[in-house]
């Protein structure tokens, strides 16, 4: 990727630092930009009906590298994004996810939970896991493995990986694609199918692709600014 500016490295406390690259805008420009960004992100929806139309690996790589720009505790970057287009692996994931979901819906979920889910129209059928051209499974690295297989601490792992997932979801939407934040809990089957090392735990499963033609989404209302914020001026 082309550098936007020449890196002029200076030392601070013995560690290399570079000048910050940032853009400034006028108040009017900022209002226009933040309004446009809000409009774009407010059109994002969780989608459960996918098209099988292919999406190139190049796009998926760009989405993942975007997620990888997220901030993380002590810059440990405690994430791993597994991108799956293999029909066989997607099939295995669907079978295992549906099995877990059957247990969830039939016994593990409370009456209240099932009531809360009812408006979303979700059920134990996870056909979309095979229809979507890609599944991205995000793993959190609960600790880091050093060269001698020694354990090194990661910090604020859930917060860091959660932020990276938010950025990934926003990037998917920005590309004109759709995803579903899916948590077929427990998700241990993903570690087995994808043969992940012991320091990695499944965090989220995101089918990625184009929405099916005529896809429907629940008519949900989002909380107002007044409801989600308090200003102290």
Ligand X SMILES: Cc1cc2nc3c(=O)[nH]c(=O)nc-3n(C[C@H](O)[C@H](O)[C@H](O)COP(=O)(O)O)c2cc1C
41 makes contact with ligand X (CB under 6 A) = no
Identify the residue among 86, 125, 183, 188 touching ligand X (CB under 6 A): 183
The label of the residue with tokens 């939970």 reads 113
Using CB atoms, what's the residue nearest to ligand X? 46
Question: From the CB of residue 101, how many other CB atoms can be counted at a distance below 10 Å?
Answer: 20
Check binding of 51 to ligand X (CB under 6 A).
Answer: no
**Contact mark string toward ligand X, 198..227, x via CB under 6 A:** -------------------x--x-------
Residue pair 20/149 in contact by the 8 Å Cβ criterion: no
> How many other C-beta atoms lie within 10 A of the C-beta of residue 211?
20
Q: Is 182 in the site for ligand X (CB under 6 A)?
A: yes
Confirm or reject binding of residue 45 to ligand X (CB under 6 A): yes
Nearer to ligand X, 69 or 158 (CB): 158
Considering the rule CB under 6 A, would residue 124 count as an interface residue with ligand X?
A: no
Structure tokens at 20: 């910050």
Near ligand X by CB under 6 A, which window of 7-15, 18-26, 82-90, 174-182? Answer: 174-182
Q: Judging by DSSP bridges, how do beta strands 10-12 and 79-84 pair with one another?
A: unpaired
> Of the candidates 180, 187, 208, 211, which one interacts with ligand X according to CB under 6 A?
180
In angstroms, the Cα distances linking 75 to 17, 70, 155, 156 are 15, 9, 9, 10
């Amino acid at each position: 990727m082309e550098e936007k500016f020449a890196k002029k490295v200076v030392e601070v406390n013995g560690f290399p630092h570079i000048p910050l690259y940032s853009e400034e805008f006028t108040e009017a420009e900022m209002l226009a930009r933040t309004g446009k960004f809000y409009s774009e992100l407010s059109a994002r929806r969780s989608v459960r009906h996918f098209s099988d139309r292919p999406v190139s690996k190049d796009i998926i790589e760009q989405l993942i590298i975007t997620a990888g720009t997220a901030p993380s505790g002590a810059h440990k970057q405690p994430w791993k994004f597994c991108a799956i287009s293999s029909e066989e692996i997607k099939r295995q994931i669907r079978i295992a996810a549906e099995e877990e979901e059957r247990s969830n819906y039939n016994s593990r979920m409370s009456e209240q939970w099932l009531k809360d889910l009812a408006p979303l129209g979700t059920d134990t059928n996870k056909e979309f896991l095979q229809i979507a051209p890609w599944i991205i499974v995000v793993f959190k690295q609960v600790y880091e493995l050093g060269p001698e297989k020694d354990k090194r601490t990661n910090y604020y792992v859930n917060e860091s990986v959660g932020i990276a997932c938010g950025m990934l979801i926003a990037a998917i939407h920005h590309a004109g694609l759709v995803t579903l934040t899916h948590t077929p809990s427990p998700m241990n089957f993903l570690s087995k199918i994808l043969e992940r090392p012991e320091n990695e735990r499944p965090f989220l499963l995101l089918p990625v692709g184009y929405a099916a033609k005529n896809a429907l989404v629940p008519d949900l209302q989002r909380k107002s600014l007044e409801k989600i914020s308090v200003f102290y001026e």
